């Protein structure tokens, strides 16, 4: 798409240049507008390609060893597929321990990882066919798609483990915060019983804190 967009802008720029160079002269305003259009289109074409420069470089590098990538990727995809049962079990454990709202970001990650791996398998099959037909460019694009799909699958499964770690840490932090709040409540209640907290709004604060603690239960 980037190449097509750049070609379209350059083709249009060339057409404008041809109009300026024909036998019919343009007035100054028309000529300035045409030159401005040429500059804008060429700049846009350059920017579009610059944005994809890293990807183009990656494709060129991949083209140099596409056979190696084709040989290596199936094992990597298989390793990710082997992690899926453990990830599914971990997700079930999280469902048993936490509310559904805490798991929304990863609830479908195992299924989505499976879809990415299926896509990678299909891309690799097409890449092999393309390479066999001496269509190296198509093979490179297929391998690139498979690589991205495998990486996405890895990240989807890793996100489940990361969430488990984050939730466990949050639970520990909550336990510490709860203990501190209970100590503060005990001190505040002692002040109220002694009458030293009267008229300070302390009673309302204690009631709000007790309600919040009850909601945690």
Q: What are the tens digits of pLDDT across the range 46-82?
A: 999 888 888 787 777 788 788 988 999 999 999 999 9
pLDDT (tens digit, 9 = 90+) per residue, 158-199? Answer: 999 999 999 989 888 888 888 888 888 888 888 777 777 666
pLDDT the model gives residue 198:
61
pLDDT the model gives residue 159:
96
Region 146-150: mean pLDDT is 94
Task: Name the H helices within the chain.
Answer: 2-21, 28-51, 53-64, 66-97, 109-132, 136-194, 202-216
66 and 140 Cβ atoms separated by less than 8 Å: yes
Of 176, 180, 174, 186, the C-alpha closest to 215 is 174
pLDDT the model gives residue 171:
82
pLDDT the model gives residue 172:
84
Q: What gap in Å lies between CA 16 and CA 12, rounded to an integer?
A: 6
Rg (CA), the chain: 31
Region 124-140: mean pLDDT is 92
C-alpha dist (Å) from residue 13 to 34, 44, 175: 9, 11, 66
Specify the 3-state DSSP secondary structure of 30: helix
Q: How far is CA 34 from the centre of its chain?
A: 41
pLDDT the model gives residue 129:
94
pLDDT (tens digit, 9 = 90+) per residue, 14-53? Answer: 999 888 887 778 888 888 999 999 999 999 999 998 888 8
pLDDT the model gives residue 38:
93
Q: What gap in Å lies between CA 79 and CA 82, rounded to an integer?
A: 5
pLDDT the model gives residue 37:
93
Q: Quick check: 105 pLDDT over 70?
A: yes
Q: What is the largest CA-CA distance in the chain?
A: 102
């Amino acid at each position: 798409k980037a190449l097509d967009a750049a070609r379209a802008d350059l083709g249009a720029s060339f057409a404008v240049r041809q109009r300026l160079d024909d036998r019919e002269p343009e007035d100054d305003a028309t000529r300035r507008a045409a030159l401005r259009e040429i500059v804008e289109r060429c700049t846009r074409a350059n920017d579009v390609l610059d944005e994809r420069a890293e990807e183009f470089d990656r494709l060129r590098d991949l083209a140099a060893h596409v056979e190696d990538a084709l040989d290596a990727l199936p094992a990597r995809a298989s390793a990710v597929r082997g992690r899926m049962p453990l990830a599914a079990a971990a997700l079930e454990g999280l469902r048993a321990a936490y509310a559904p709202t805490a798991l929304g970001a990863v609830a479908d990650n195992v299924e989505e990882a499976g879809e990415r791996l299926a896509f990678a398998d299909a891309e690799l099959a097409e890449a092999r066919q393309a390479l066999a037909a001496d269509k190296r460019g198509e093979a490179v694009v297929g391998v690139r798609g498979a690589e991205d799909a495998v990486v996405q699958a890895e990240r989807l499964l890793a996100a489940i483990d990361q969430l488990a770690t984050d939730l466990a840490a949050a639970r520990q932090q909550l336990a510490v915060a709860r203990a501190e709040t209970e100590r503060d409540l005990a001190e505040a209640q002692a002040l109220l019983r002694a009458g030293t907290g009267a008229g300070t709004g302390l009673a309302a604060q204690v009631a709000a804190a007790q309600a919040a603690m009850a909601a945690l239960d």
